[in-house]
């Protein structure tokens, strides 16, 4: 699973990282920082852009900078500002320091994936500065309007678009990917606004030169490849599910559905069920697998999880654009008060909402992406576009950790890692029939009418740990316990009938997002497997354990 994090923000305020290393590659590689990742249990660290970048000029005028770094000028250089070596007066030292960081992460059992921004550069549009490619071979590196080649096409919202259809740009991108894999040792990439790399003059094309070239490359095709499957400024730029089999995709539909479901919107139960089981509707063709779906509820761009349950509206005044920047499509719910509050009812609801969404994320088929800090209850005080905030708004505040939430998240991740039934390699249909069964809270099989009911908000998912198991690397069947996931999207508690346990097994409560401190108890009644009360807007996970012992 992915843990999305900013190199600088992760340790800039970390008390156990030596001050000279805070906010640097060496800081991220420090044992105090690594310990958090290892204890949490994530497997892949996805770093916000580390290619050399520069801030936009207008930010300087506001006393701001570009913190996120989606503004590249050098595709072969680790950003120097994140280097303790450079800071200590050893320019060029960032290369070895970055490499050492990758080694340290590998030694800790973690993969490293880079967020790479090949769709545009910091040179921006026709009014931007000449920093790199513009002065070398403008019409090879950038898409220009055919009817007016003095102007730049913009499918990135940043003023220009790199023309990866051109052989020169294509080679630049491919050489960069090969460099970071072979020389710097990273394990893969998340491609920012990936359709901008896969568009020819007829629009998005899954046989575009870039995708074909990646697919046949002996080095790059073996890396982890994740698309952000949309871009901006052109029509038809939402390409979720359309990338080739090799690729994984950020599942934006997952985010929208999970957010809306847990604020009890109507008519989402079927959609939610698809998201929970790997989004076969999006990725079920071409031999793709559930692992093509990178499930996410929050990412760097938008609200943090804590803010998602604390704000109805963005609060971006600090960005200097009178709160006009940032999306208004947040699908957030402040749970009864906007922002900080002392109201214990609101605060309790917010905690339950965070747990419900974290549990959904970590119990869904597919690959979860956790926004770094969400496990700590990190807030950005309602700023949903903190790209220009390089301060305590964005830096991890290790003195304000929500210890209960962190413990809850760790438990969920450990559960996921321990149980192959929760992270299947194949979609549970066809030959795997029976591995997955849906029922109503009353215990009946879900009918078409049940799925179509816009008022339906609760469902039980039975995962058979024995049916059609995946194989491990040695070819052994990964038979697992069975699970029952009881989902209640209502605002009232719901008594749910539990599916019958396999003979010789009994259900034990593993997760209850309503009250994580008290394991959910199954109430057996005659002639039935029993019932469980699932709290409002909550889910319960049961695991089949041996009946005796």
Q: How far is the CB of 200 from a second copy (least distance, A)?
A: 8
By CB under 8 A, residue 184 contacts a second copy: no
Q: Which of 215, 252, 267, 320 binds a second copy (CB under 8 A)?
A: 215
**111, β-bridge pairs:** 44
Residue whose C-alpha is closest to residue 282's, from 230, 213, 232:
230
Q: Determine the 3-state secondary structure of 258 from DSSP.
A: helix
Beta carbons of 243 and 214 less than 8 angstroms apart: no
Q: Pick the closer one to a second copy by CB: 207 or 407.
A: 207
Q: Pick the closer one to a second copy by CB: 171 or 431.
A: 171
**462, β-bridge pairs:** 437, 484
Q: Which of 24, 72, 94, 213 binds a second copy (CB under 8 A)?
A: 213
Q: How far is the CB of 144 from a second copy (least distance, A)?
A: 16
User: Do the strands 538-546 and 483-488 form a parallel or antiparallel pair, or are they unpaired?
Assistant: antiparallel
Is 192 an annotated catalytic residue?
yes
By CB under 8 A, residue 144 contacts a second copy: no
Q: Which of 44, 155, 161, 165 binds a second copy (CB under 8 A)?
A: 165
Beta carbons of 214 and 180 less than 8 angstroms apart: no
- CA dist 410 and 408 (Å) reads 5
- CA dist 261 and 109 (Å) reads 35
Q: Pick the closer one to a second copy by CB: 178 or 505.
A: 178
- CA dist 186 and 205 (Å) reads 27
Q: Pick the closer one to a second copy by CB: 203 or 536.
A: 203
For residue 115, the Cα-to-chain-centroid distance in whole angstroms is: 12
Q: Pick the closer one to a second copy by CB: 53 or 199.
A: 199
Q: How far is the CB of 167 from a second copy (least distance, A)?
A: 4
By CB under 8 A, residue 166 contacts a second copy: yes
By CB under 8 A, residue 251 contacts a second copy: no
> Mind spelling out the 3-state secondary structure of 6-23?
CHHHHHCCCCCCCHHHCC
By CB under 8 A, residue 136 contacts a second copy: no
Candidate list 4, 192, 249, 510, residue with the active-site label: 192
Q: Pick the closer one to a second copy by CB: 178 or 417.
A: 178
- CA dist 322 and 213 (Å) reads 43
By CB under 8 A, residue 216 contacts a second copy: yes
Residue whose C-alpha is closest to residue 135's, from 86, 222, 201, 73:
73
H or E segment at 46? strand 44-47
By CB under 8 A, residue 171 contacts a second copy: yes
- CA dist 203 and 206 (Å) reads 10
By CB under 8 A, residue 196 contacts a second copy: no
Q: How far is the CB of 262 from a second copy (least distance, A)?
A: 39
Is 338 an annotated catalytic residue?
no
Stretch that binds a second copy, among 214-222, 259-267, 332-340, 451-459 (CB under 8 A): 214-222
Beta carbons of 493 and 512 less than 8 angstroms apart: no
By CB under 8 A, residue 463 contacts a second copy: no
H or E segment at 58? helix 57-61
Stretch that binds a second copy, among 6-14, 143-151, 216-224, 272-280 (CB under 8 A): 216-224
H or E segment at 113? strand 111-116
Q: Pick the closer one to a second copy by CB: 163 or 488.
A: 163
Q: How far is the CB of 234 from a second copy (least distance, A)?
A: 19
Q: Which of 63, 135, 146, 218 binds a second copy (CB under 8 A)?
A: 218
By CB under 8 A, residue 313 contacts a second copy: no
Beta carbons of 11 and 33 less than 8 angstroms apart: yes
Candidate list 56, 97, 115, 228, residue with the active-site label: 228
Q: Pick the closer one to a second copy by CB: 83 or 169.
A: 169
| Size of the residue set binding a second copy (CB under 8 A) | 20
The 490-529 site mask, x for binding a second copy (CB under 8 A), equals ----------------------------------------
DSSP 351-383: HHHHHHHHHHHHHSBSEEEEETTGGGT---TT-
> Mind spelling out the 3-state secondary structure of 305-343?
HHHHCCCCCCCCHHHCCCCCCCCCCCCCCCCCCCCCCCC
Q: How far is CA 258 from CA 22, 278, 285, 454, in A?
A: 35, 13, 23, 16
By CB under 8 A, residue 193 contacts a second copy: no
Q: How far is the CB of 214 from a second copy (least distance, A)?
A: 9
Q: Which of 88, 207, 400, 479 binds a second copy (CB under 8 A)?
A: 207
Classify burial at 229, counting beta carbons within 10 Å of its beta carbon; exposed 0-12, middle 13-18, buried 19 or more: buried
By CB under 8 A, residue 212 contacts a second copy: yes
Stretch that binds a second copy, among 25-33, 170-178, 439-447, 471-479 (CB under 8 A): 170-178
By CB under 8 A, residue 125 contacts a second copy: no
Q: How many CB atoms lie within 10 A of CB 301?
A: 18
Q: Pick the closer one to a second copy by CB: 244 or 489.
A: 244
Stretch that binds a second copy, among 206-214, 269-277, 453-461, 505-513 (CB under 8 A): 206-214
Q: Pick the closer one to a second copy by CB: 211 or 421.
A: 211
Cβ neighbors of 130 (< 8 A, separation 6 or more) are 123
By CB under 8 A, residue 316 contacts a second copy: no
Residue whose C-alpha is closest to residue 535's, from 491, 497, 499:
491
Q: How far is the CB of 246 from a second copy (least distance, A)?
A: 8
What are the φ/ψ torsions at residue 365 (nearest 5 degrees)? -65, 150
Q: Hey, which residues are catalytic here?
A: 192, 228
Binding site for a second copy (CB under 8 A): 165-167, 170-171, 174-175, 178, 200, 207, 209, 211-213, 215-218, 221, 244
């Amino acid at each position: 699973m992915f843990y999305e994090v900013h190199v600088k923000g992760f340790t800039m305020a970390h008390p156990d990282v030596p001050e000279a290393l805070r906010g640097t590659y060496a800081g991220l590689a420090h044992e105090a920082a690594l310990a958090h990742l290892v204890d949490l249990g994530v497997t892949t660290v996805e770093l916000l852009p580390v290619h050399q970048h520069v801030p936009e000029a207008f930010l300087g005028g506001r006393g701001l900078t570009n913190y996120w770094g989606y503004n590249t000028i050098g595709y072969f250089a680790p950003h120097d500002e994140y280097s303790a070596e450079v800071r200590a007066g050893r320019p060029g030292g960032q290369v070895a320091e970055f490499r050492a960081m990758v080694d340290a992460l590998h030694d800790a059992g973690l993969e490293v994936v880079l967020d790479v921004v090949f769709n545009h550069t910091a040179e921006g549009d026709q009014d931007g500065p000449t920093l790199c490619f513009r002065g070398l071979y403008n019409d090879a590196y950038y898409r220009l309007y055919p009817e007016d080649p003095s102007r730049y096409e913009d499918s990135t919202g940043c003023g220009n678009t790199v023309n990866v259809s051109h052989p020169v740009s294509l080679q630049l991108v491919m050489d960069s990917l090969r460099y970071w894999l072979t020389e710097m040792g990273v394990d893969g990439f998340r491609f920012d606004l990936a359709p901008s790399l896969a568009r020819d003059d007829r629009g998005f094309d899954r046989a575009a030169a870039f995708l074909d070239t990646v697919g046949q490359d002996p080095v790059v095709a073996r890396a982890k490849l994740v698309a952000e499957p949309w871009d901006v400024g052109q029509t038809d730029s939402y390409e979720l599910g359309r990338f080739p089999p090799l690729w994984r995709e950020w599942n934006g539909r997952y985010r929208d559905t999970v957010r809306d479901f847990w604020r009890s919107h109507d008519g989402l139960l079927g959609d939610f069920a698809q998201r929970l089981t790997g989004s076969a509707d999006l990725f079920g063709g071409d031999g793709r697998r559930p692992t093509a779906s990178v499930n996410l509820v929050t990412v760097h761009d938008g609200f943090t999880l804590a803010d998602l349950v604390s704000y109805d509206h963005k609060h971006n005044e600090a960005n200097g654009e009178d709160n006009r920047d940032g999306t208004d499509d947040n699908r957030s719910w402040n749970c009864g008060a906007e922002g900080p509050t002392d109201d214990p009812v609101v605060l309790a609801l917010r905690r339950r909402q965070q747990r419900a969404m974290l549990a959904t994320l970590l119990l869904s088929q597919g690959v979860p992406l956790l926004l770094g800090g969400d496990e700590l209850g990190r807030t950005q005080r309602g700023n949903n576009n903190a790209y220009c905030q390089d301060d305590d708004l964005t830096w991890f505040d290790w003195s304000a950790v929500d210890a209960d939430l962190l413990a809850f998240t760790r438990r969920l991740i450990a559960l996921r890692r321990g149980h192959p039934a929760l992270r299947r390699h194949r979609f549970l249909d066809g030959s795997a029939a029976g591995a997955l069964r849906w029922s109503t809270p009353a215990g009946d099989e879900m009918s078409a009418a049940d799925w179509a009911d816009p008022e339906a908000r609760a469902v039980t998912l039975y995962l058979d740990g024995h049916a059609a198991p995946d194989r491990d690397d040695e070819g052994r069947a990964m038979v697992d316990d069975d699970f029952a996931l009881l989902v209640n999207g209502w605002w009232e508690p719901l008594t749910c009938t539990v599916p019958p346990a396999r003979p010789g097994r009994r259900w034990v409560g593993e997760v209850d997002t309503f009250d994580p401190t008290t394991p959910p108890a199954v109430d057996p009644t005659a002639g039935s497997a029993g019932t469980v009360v699932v709290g409002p807007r909550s889910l319960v996970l049961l695991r089949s354990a041996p009946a005796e012992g």
